[in-house]
Structure 1
Amino acid sequence: MLAAVAFFSLMDAGLKTLSTGYPPFQVACLRGAASLPFVLAWALWSGGVASLRVHRWSLHLLRGVLGVTMMVCFVYALQTLPLSTAYSIFFVAPLLITALSVPLLGERVGPRRWTAIAIGLLGVLVLLRPSGEGLVSVAALAVLVAATGYALSAIAVRVLGRTDSMQSMMVWLMAMIAVGAGALAWPDWVPIRAADGWVILGVGVAGALGQYAITEAFRVGEASLIAPLEYTALVWGVLLDLSLWGVLPDAITWLGAAIIVASGLYLLRRERVHVEAEHP
C-alpha cells in the first residue's frame, strides 16, 4: 500500500501536468491506455491467458464505471487544486472504506471506530470551508465523488478477489477506463503533442506499478487495516507541489488534513487491538 501511494502520487503529478492541455475525459483515457500495455504484459507473463478469465462480469463492469468516474472527477479537480489540497479532501476515502466494510464485507467496526470516522468527516468539513477552495468549489466536490468511487472500487476488489485473479482485475479495469473514457472524450479530442509523450509514458509506468501494488494490498489485506496508509500521500503531495509548482498548503488545509489523518491513525490502532484480541 505504501508503494502504491508513492507510484500514484507520481502518476497524479503527471495527470495534473496533462490536465492543463487536455480535457478530463481524454486525460483519463490516456491514463488507462498508457498503463494497459505494461499491465497486460505482466499479466500474460505471470499467469498466462487463463489468468484473464472473468467470473463476475457485473463487478468488473462496476469497477470500470467507478474507475472512469473517479479518474475524470480527480483530473477535473487537479486543473485548479494543488495536489496536497486534493489529497487532503480525498482522505475521506479510507473512512468510507472502513464504514462500508460493515454492510458490504461483514467486518466489525465498534463504537470507538465509528467515533473516529465521524471526527474524520468533521475534518473534511474543515477542508470544505465556505470560501476559497471550500464548499462552493466544484473541484472540491469532484474530489469527494472520486473518493467515493475509490472506496467502492476497493470494496469490490475484496469481493472479486474470492473468484477472479489479480491479473484479470488489473487488465480489465485499465481496458475499461481506456475505452470508456476514450469514447466519451472522442467528440472533443485534442491532438496529442509530441512533447507530452514522456509525461504520458511516465503516467503509464507509474500507474501500472501503483495499480499492481494497490490491487494486491486490498486482495490479501483487510480493508479497514491497510486503507489508512493512504494518508502518506500528503507527504508526496506537499513535496511535488513545492518542487513542481512552488505552492504549499495553507493553514486550514493543514488543520483539516491533521484531523482526518489523526482519525485514520486511530482507526488503524483500533484495528490492531481488535485483531490481537481475536488472535492472541
Structure 2
Amino acid sequence: MTGTLLRLSGNFRGVLWMTAAMASGVFVDVCAKLVSHDVPTAQILAMRAVTTVAVFVIILMFIGTRSIRTKRPYAHLARGVLWYGSLFFVFFALRQMSIAEVNAYLFIEALLTVMLAVVILGEQLTARKVIATLLGLVGVWVMCVPKMDGFGVPLGVAAALIGAFCFSAQTLYAKVLTRTETNFSMLFWPQIVAIVIWVPVAVIMWQPAALSDWLYSAGAGFFAMLTNYMVLRAVRVADASVISPAAYTALPFSVAMDLIFFDMLPVPVIFVGAAIVVLAVALLDYRGGAKPVSVVPAEDDESDGNRKAATAKV
C-alpha cells in the first residue's frame, strides 16, 4: 500500500493528505459537541489540554527534550493564547449551531489571515485582496441573515467569527515561529499555555465530568494532533494551489457528521454563503494573486512544494 502511494504524484498525495486532514478535523468538532452541556467550555479546554500534555510527556520520555527547546518563548505564549482562544470560541459556537454551520463561518479565516498579514507583517494591500475580503464578508452576511434578529448577531455566529479571527492571528505567529522552531515544539508549548490559563479557570467553575466527557475531550485532542500531522504531510509534498480546494471538503464532511451523530442539517442558505466565501478565497489565487499566509515547517525531510496554512482546527 505504501509503495502504491509513493508511486503517485506529489500533488495527488497532497490532495489525499489534505482531504484526510479535513475528515479528521471534523471529528474534533464531533468530540467537542458530544461533551455534556453541563460541562463548561473552559473545562473542556482544560480537560483537552491535560490529556494532550500527558501524551506529550510520554513521547518526550522516549525522544528527549531537545525537540521542544525554544528561542522564542513569548511568541509561543502569544500563539498559545490565540490558539486556545480560537478553540474556546469555536467550541462555544458548536454548542449553538451545527458542525457544518460553524465550519462554513470558519472559511473566512483564510481571508482574515491575508488582511492581518497586511496590517501586522506589512504585506502589500492590493485591490484584489480588498475585493476578495469584501466578497467574503458578503458571504458571511448571507449565512447570518436567517439567524439575525434585526441587526443583532447570535452569540454562536459571533463566537465562530471571533474564533476564525484568533486562528488567523495564530497562523501569523506560526509563520514567524517556523523559521527557528520545530513542529513538535509548536505543538507542545500551546498545550502548556493552555494548562496554565484554562486549568485555573476550569477549577473555579468545575462541574462533575463523566468518563465519557474525559474520553471525548481526549478524542478532540487526538484528532487535532492527527489533523495537524496530515496537513503538514500535505503541504510538504504538494503545491498550495492544488491542495487548497481540498480544504473545503470540511463542509460535506461536516454535513455527514451532523446527520450521523446529531440528526440535523444546516439551512440551505449556509451553502450559498459558504460558496461565496470560497469564491472570495479563490479570487486571491487567480492568476498568481496573493495567497493565504504559508506556514513552512522548520524541519522538512520531504520534497519541497509551495506551502499553505491549514484551515483545520488544531
What TM-score, normalized to structure 2?
A: 0.76
Tell me which of 143, 150, 159 is aligned to 2:176: 159
From the superposition, tell whether residues 264 and 124 of structure 1 become closer, same or farther in structure 2 (CA, over 3 Å): same
Q: Which residue of 1 aligns with 2:67?
A: 51
Q: Any unmatched runs of 5+ in structure 1?
A: none
1:220–1:171 CA distance, 2 compared to 1 (3 A): farther
**Larger helix fraction of residues:** 1
The equivalent of 2:158 in structure 1 is 141
Alpha-carbon distance in structure 1 between the residues aligned to 2:59 and 2:138: 42
The reply to whether residue 67 of structure 1 matches residue 78 of structure 2 is no
Please tell me whether the aligned partners of residues 155 and 223 of structure 1 are also in contact (alpha carbons under 8 angstroms). Answer: no
Q: Would you say the 8 A contact 2:47–2:214 is kept in 1?
A: no
Match of 2:98 among 82, 99, 114: 82
Counterpart for residue 251 of structure 1: 268
**Residue 29 of structure 1: how far off its partner (Å):** 1.4
Q: Is it true that 1:235 corresponds to 2:262 in the alignment?
A: no
1:172 Cα deviation after fit: 0.5
Offset, 1:101: 2.8
| Long gaps (5+) in structure 2 | 1-17, 292-305, 307-314
Q: Deviations over 1:132-176 (max 9, x none)?
A: 588430111011111011000111101011112211111001221
In the other structure, the counterpart of 1:6 is: 23
Q: Could you tell me which residue of structure 2 aligns to residue 31 of structure 1?
A: 48
Whole-angstrom CA distance in 2 between matches of 1:228 and 1:56: 33
How far off is 1:238 after superposition?
Answer: 0.7
- Deviation track 1:3-62 (CA, whole Å, cap 9, x = no partner) reads 43322210111001115231010111122222233345556656x311111211111111
How big is each residue's C-alpha offset from its partner over 1:79-105, in whole Å with a ceiling of 9 and x where there is no partner? 111011111111111111122233444
Q: Deviations along 1:178-210, whole A, 9 cap, x unmatched?
A: 331111111111122123343233223212212
Q: Who is 2:15 aligned against?
A: none
Distance 2:240 2:170 in 1: 11
2:280 is aligned with 1:263: yes
Match among 178, 195, 211 for residue 194 of structure 1: 211
Whole-Å separation in 2 of the counterparts to 1:225 and 1:157 = 22
Conserved? CA contact 1:16–1:79, under 8 Å? yes
CA contact 1:123–1:256 (8 Å) conserved in 2: yes
1:62 maps to a residue whose letter is: A
> Which has the larger displacement, 214-223 or 252-261?
214-223
- Contact map agreement 1:33 1:204 (CA 8 A) in 2: no
CA RMSD of aligned residues (A): 3.1
SS state at 2:35 partner: helix
